[in-house]
């Protein structure tokens, strides 16, 4: 079911609209979880977002993909200097309204529809609630807004389809990080080159993974020609060259399994059991020919193949915990 959201952009409005996304830290500056940041992970592709900044709604967006871990966008500059460098990036295709909407002018219509808790604006004044970023709203609030302006529904529903995919956005982020690594003069040539090769699962990283893993954890395939060396903690999210090259931070996966794992549609328990995202169509898992490998979620009483129940080492488990909490889509 389609959900509706309201975002209070504040100081990052121009950057988020221009580059077609939302970005938030994962926690408040004191390290406490924040409901409005957690909402980034709750948004689904196809959801609708109203963009509010400077007391106006000027854009409406369509969520293009699930949120994923990403560094703070470089275009933010010094804005939000107290935010952590790692946050949630939610791809959103924005389209401009023909006529901006001032919620304060429609407060007699919007006010009664606002949620009693976690409202994005104050019902009494129509001004944005400080501390609220992405808030859930009802379809009725969206209908009020669209009744007082024109929304190009065709553009809203189809725009950005080829650009705003996880693969494309993640590739752009990885390109930026690779450029930073190439220009980092504190790294020796050997480490720099190995770290860059690790982005593609090649070189030293692949050799290190092969010392730890012998088969795809999902399918059991052992032929090296059919396996990708995939980071558990994504390459873009690693904090040091050592993490990017650590064999314990890698799995050998077939291309389909690698895509599912990298996107967070599957993860693994410390015991080796497969965890399938509740927001991934499990029929698609079967269509990929991988259904029997997610044996527990799909109703098998025991692992049909022994490699599916083999546990991970202590060093791997710390990376898997990161994947389950920061990459896997809950």
Instruction: For the chain, give the percent of residues with pLDDT over 70.
Output: 94
Instruction: For the chain, give the percent of residues with pLDDT over 90.
Output: 73
Is 159 a residue whose pLDDT tops 80? yes
Is 28 a residue whose pLDDT tops 90? no
For the segment 18-44, the average pLDDT, to the nearest whole number, is 93
Please give the pLDDT value at position 160.
78
Q: Distance (Å, rounded) from C-alpha 14 to C-alpha 280?
A: 32
Q: Distance (Å, rounded) from C-alpha 129 to C-alpha 119?
A: 7
Neighbours of 327 (CB within 10 A): 21
Contact in structure between 236 and 208 (CB atoms under 8 Å): no
Q: How many helices (H) and strands (E) does the chain have?
A: 12, 11
Strand partners, 230: 251
**If pLDDT is split at 50, 70 and 90, which confidence band does 316 have?**
very high
Provide the residue count of the chain.
Answer: 330
Is 151 a residue whose pLDDT tops 90? yes
Structure tokens at 299: 């109703």
Give me the chain's average pLDDT, please: 91
Is 62 a residue whose pLDDT tops 60? yes
**If pLDDT is split at 50, 70 and 90, which confidence band does 79 have?**
confident
Is 307 a residue whose pLDDT tops 70? no
Q: What are the backbone dihedrals phi and psi of residue 307, each rounded to the nearest 5 degrees, phi first?
A: -70, -15
Record the pTM: 0.91
Please give the pLDDT value at position 273.
86
Q: Distance (Å, rounded) from C-alpha 38 to C-alpha 255?
A: 30
Strand partners, 70: 87
Please give the pLDDT value at position 19.
93
- Percent helix, strand, coil in the chain, to 5, is 40, 20, 40
Q: Distance (Å, rounded) from C-alpha 78 to C-alpha 330?
A: 32
Please give the pLDDT value at position 205.
98
Q: Hey, CA dihedral for 253, 258, 260, 265, is it positive or negative? A: positive
Please give the pLDDT value at position 109.
97
Please give the pLDDT value at position 247.
98
Sequence-ordered strand ranges (E) for the chain:
4-8, 21-25, 48-53, 56-63, 68-71, 86-101, 134-137, 228-231, 250-253, 266-268, 274-276
Please name the residues in contact with 125: beta carbons below 8 A apart, sequence gap of 6 or more: 104
**If pLDDT is split at 50, 70 and 90, which confidence band does 188 have?**
very high
Please give the pLDDT value at position 303.
53
- Which of the pair, 164 or 196, is modelled with greater confidence? 196
Please give the pLDDT value at position 301.
53
Q: Distance (Å, rounded) from C-alpha 61 to C-alpha 63?
A: 6
Structure tokens at 254: 């077939």
Please give the pLDDT value at position 294.
62
- Model pLDDT for residues 219-275, shown as the tens digit of each residue: 888 999 999 999 999 999 999 999 999 999 999 999 999 999 999 999 999 999 888
- Indicate the helix (H) or strand (E) that contains 16: helix 13-19
For the segment 41-67, the average pLDDT, to the nearest whole number, is 97
Largest CA distance in the chain: 66
**Cα–Cα–Cα angle for 149, 121, 125, nearest 5°?**
90
Q: Distance (Å, rounded) from C-alpha 199 to C-alpha 236?
A: 8
Is 78 a residue whose pLDDT tops 90? no
User: To the nearest 10°, the Cα dihedral for 175, 177, 178, 182?
Assistant: 140
Burial of 212 (0-12, 13-18, 19+ CB in 10 A): middle
Q: Is 296 helix (H, G, I), strand (E, B) or coil?
A: coil
- Model pLDDT for residues 92-101, shown as the tens digit of each residue: 999 999 999 9
Burial of 240 (0-12, 13-18, 19+ CB in 10 A): exposed
Is 295 a residue whose pLDDT tops 80? no
- Model pLDDT for residues 107-150, shown as the tens digit of each residue: 999 999 999 899 999 998 989 998 899 999 999 999 999 999 99
Please give the pLDDT value at position 305.
52
């Amino acid at each position: 079911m389609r959900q509706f959201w309201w975002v209070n952009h504040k100081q990052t409005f121009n950057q988020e609209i221009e580059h077609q996304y939302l970005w938030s830290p994962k926690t408040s500056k004191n390290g406490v979880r924040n409901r409005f940041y957690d909402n980034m992970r709750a948004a689904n592709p196809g959801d609708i977002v109203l963009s509010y900044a400077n007391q106006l709604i000027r854009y409406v967006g369509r969520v293009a993909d699930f949120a994923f871990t990403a560094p703070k966008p470089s275009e933010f500059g010094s804005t939000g200097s107290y935010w952590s460098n790692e946050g949630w990036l939610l791809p959103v295709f924005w389209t401009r309204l023909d006529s901006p909407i001032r919620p304060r002018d429609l407060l007699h219509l919007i006010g009664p529809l606002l949620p009693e808790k976690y409202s994005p604006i104050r019902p009494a004044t129509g001004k944005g609630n400080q501390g609220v970023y992405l808030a859930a709203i009802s379809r009725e609030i969206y209908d009020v807004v669209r009744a007082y302006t024109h929304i190009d529904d065709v553009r809203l529903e189809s725009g950005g389809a080829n650009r705003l995919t996880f693969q494309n956005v993640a590739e752009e982020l990885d390109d930026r990080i690779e450029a930073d690594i190439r220009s980092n003069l504190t790294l020796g040539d050997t480490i720099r080159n190995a770290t860059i090769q690790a982005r593609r699962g090649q070189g030293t990283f692949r050799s290190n993974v092969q010392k730890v893993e012998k088969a795809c954890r999902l399918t059991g395939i052992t032929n090296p020609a059919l396996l990708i060396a995939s980071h558990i903690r994504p390459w873009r999210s690693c904090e040091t060259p050592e993490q990017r090259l650590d064999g314990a931070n890698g799995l050998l996966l077939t291309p389909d399994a690698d895509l599912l794992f990298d996107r967070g549609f599957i993860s693994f328990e410390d015991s080796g059991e497969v965890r399938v995202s509740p927001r991934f169509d499990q029929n698609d898992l079967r269509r990929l020919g991988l259904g029997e490998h997610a044996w527990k979620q799909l109703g098998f009483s025991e692992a049909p193949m022994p490699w599916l129940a083999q546990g991970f080492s202590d060093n791997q488990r710390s990376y898997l915990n990161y994947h389950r909490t920061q990459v896997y889509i809950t």
